[in-house]
Structure 1
Amino acid sequence: MELPESKMAMFYDRILPKEDLTNKTKIFQAITDEMAKIDHSLEKKIEKISVEDGATGEFINAILEKAKEQTAQHLALLENIDEQMGKLISSYDQQVDSMKSQSMTFQYVEEEIGTMTLPLSPSPSILRSTPTPPFK
């Protein structure tokens, strides 16, 4: 007696629901906001010291100008960090979401009974699941 030919069925199914992880950027933004406050505070303290002492001159003006330049550079860097962190977290969100779906392949054998064709119960060795790679 000849064994019936096996057939395959493929499915792609979401195993876990989608969860928005992009709100994690707020954690990092809070940290960079705190760093920006510290930069502003330092700049104001430098200005306050020079005003209280009534200090003037090229040296004092150079210090004040350098403090403003450093603050501007730090703020630009912090803004860039916020932007890059947003992109990273968005990418992370997509990667996590892609891992919550999986493709599955089922192999089975059909048996004819009269005019009806019924699938036979697959043995554990015939049934297999093929996971998709987590990153595309």
Structure 2
Amino acid sequence: MTTWPKDELRKIAEADDLHISPFREDGATYGTPTWIWSVAVDDALYVRAYNGKNSRWYRAAVRRKAGRITAAGMTKEVVFEPVDGSINERVDEAYRAKYRGSPYLSPMIGPTARSATVKVMPRETDV
């Protein structure tokens, strides 16, 4: 797994237009793009499923472990890694800072969405 170039991560983190498309079961076809919130913590991008672990995109991301995102005018091949533990407090802080004032913030830092936190990192592809 590679890390995000700082300028790309900053642009993605500042954008409000991230769409996530985990691979379908065949491992080659991308799923329907789903608009979700994203935040950056340190050198990583994090997303959460509003409806928790039952969200279709979350289940696909955890099962297939790869796909792509589109944000800030870029389309990137990525890998997905579910996370748990103390990083969630920092992800909560990032959500509070970025989405302050939104009526959807409370559910996004609540236990249902928090249980479905995913780290999104760039995926090396064959050129």
**Larger Cα-atom Rg:** 1
Larger RCO of the pair (alpha carbons < 8 Å, separation 6+): 1
User: Normalising by the residue count of structure 1, what TM-score does the alignment of the two structures yield?
Assistant: 0.19
Higher strand share: 2
User: Normalising by the residue count of structure 2, what TM-score does the alignment of the two structures yield?
Assistant: 0.20
Higher helix share: 1
